[in-house]
Amino acid sequence: MRRTAHWLTAVNTMGAPRVRRQRRGVDRVFDGMVRRAEQQAGSDASAAPAFIDSYRFLMRQIARLDSLSLIGWQGFVDDLTRRMTNHLRVERLIAEHPEIAASPVRRPIVVVGLPRTATTLTHKVLIQPEGNRAPLMWELMNTQRGDIDPKLRDKLIKDAQTMASLASKASPVWDLIHPMNALQPEECVFALPHGYQFLTRATMPAYRRWVDERDYTEDYEHLKRVLQVLQWNQPECRWVLKSPFHLFNLDVLLKVFGDATVVWMHRDPSTVMGSWCSLVETGRALHHRSYDPAALGPEWLDIFGKGVAKARAVRSGARRERFVDVPYHSLTADPYGYMPKLFERLDLEWTAKEEGNLEQVLARPGMRRSHEYHLSRYGIDIDDVEAAFGDYGRLGF
């Protein structure tokens, strides 16, 4: 299976000298990124010095990647510039209207779980009831108040859609693995400044050590501010969030969102790791001239194995009512029987309309993934998975 478009090879070859020059002058490049972010956000970087410094550190780690392609380098530059722009914009909006920060984010629902555990299915159904809402891709990338000028709104949506379309054009399989659309709900990683999501694109040992030890309070406070900006002067809503990477920071999430309910999707890790590694491989193919698939399995087994262990430790010390467990096989074997029970646990009403919404979600092509691969390609086997996750796969969820 070809993971990248044919034209990428020629583009990356021609752009190799440019990448080498910019990597050598990474601080100069980063200074230019900060200036563009300030201009686009209408704000000064001095409003968030620690945030800017953390991205300078990340950019320096990116510059150490010898195999990085032109598309990969430019993708990181554009992404971090966009994230800095959004962060500065959110800080400016709240400085201009301090009352935004006092707006409560009430009883959010947060869907978590290893990738490929029906988190997307569950998320899409839970956002349907009246009053529930998920942040859209363009909103996470270009956060603005809901009452902004419609022309500006259209411009920001177009910007986000351009990024989504580039991924599809660069990889023939991207829409199968993770389809993106500016007007569709997206994962919180677009609004979380740091985390393991950056490691899907590259192995960066120093950054890995840094995020392993990071206090994510500021990251989740920023996510909360994003939601507060989006809901300002809008009808009250109950936010429904989703990301597998929330597993790593459940303690901080439960602290920042004091009345959140976590919907934890469970599935035997041995059935999902191959598919996840395949997604990561596509990300690596887009960002690098060369990579080793067999290195991906051990790397991500370690990341997710430790992440699940940390989440279980947090879970053991939290109030039981803050978690709702959803076994993958119970949900997928009888979605029409299981979903009403989940709705009841979340104080949501199950109606004929909700059943119709479930039917529509199940009918979408992306809900039945054929994207499964052998663990051996990624340098691991079932025994490795069991060693990494311990008894998690046998808990009977």
214 and 67 in one domain? no
Number of domains in the chain: 2
d(CA 155, CA 122): 31
Same-domain pairing of 205 and 89: no
Whether 374 is in a domain gets the answer yes
Asked if 256 and 363 sit in the same domain, the reply is yes
Q: What is the pLDDT of residue 254?
A: 97
Whether residue 256 has pLDDT greater than 70: yes
Helices (H) then strands (E): counts for the chain: 17, 5
State the average pLDDT over residues 34-48.
Answer: 97
pLDDT of residue 7: 77
**Is 373 in contact with 275 (CB distance < 8 Å)?**
yes
Let me know whether 253 and 218 are in one domain: yes
DSSP 3-state of 296: helix
Write the CATH number for 316: 3.40.50.300
Supply the range of the domain harboring residue 45: 1-96
Residue 178, in any domain of the structure: no
Q: 179 falls in which pLDDT band (50, 70, 90)?
A: confident
Residues 248 and 385 placed together within one structural domain of the fold? yes
Token pair in block for residue 227:
């939601």
What φ, ψ does residue 109 adopt, rounded to 5°?
-105, 130
Lowest mean pLDDT among 162-166, 189-193, 198-202, 353-357: 162-166
Q: How many residues does the chain have?
A: 397
What value does the mean pLDDT of the chain take?
93
Distance CA 274, CA 177 (A): 13
**CA distances to 67, 164, 201, 273, 382 from 377, in Å:** 21, 28, 18, 11, 12
pTM as predicted: 0.94
Predicted confidence band of residue 176 (pLDDT cuts 50, 70, 90) = low
pLDDT of residue 150: 92
Q: What is the pLDDT of residue 369?
A: 53
Banded model confidence at residue 177, pLDDT cuts 50, 70, 90: low
Residue with tokens 């989740």: 220
pLDDT, one tens digit per residue, over 257-306 is 999 999 999 999 999 999 999 999 999 999 999 999 999 999 999 999 99
Q: What is the pLDDT of residue 13?
A: 81
For 142-165, what is each residue's pLDDT tens digit?
A: 999 988 899 999 999 999 898 878
Do 333 and 226 lie in one domain? The reply is: yes
Q: Write the DSSP assignment of 88-117 as a string of letters.
A: HHHHHHHHH-GGGGGS---S-EEEEESTTS
pLDDT above 90: percentage of residues in the chain: 84
- Provide the β-strand partners of residue 2: none
Instruction: Examine the pLDDT at 367 and tell me if it is beyond 60.
Output: no
Q: What gap in Å lies between CA 253 and CA 246, rounded to an integer? A: 7
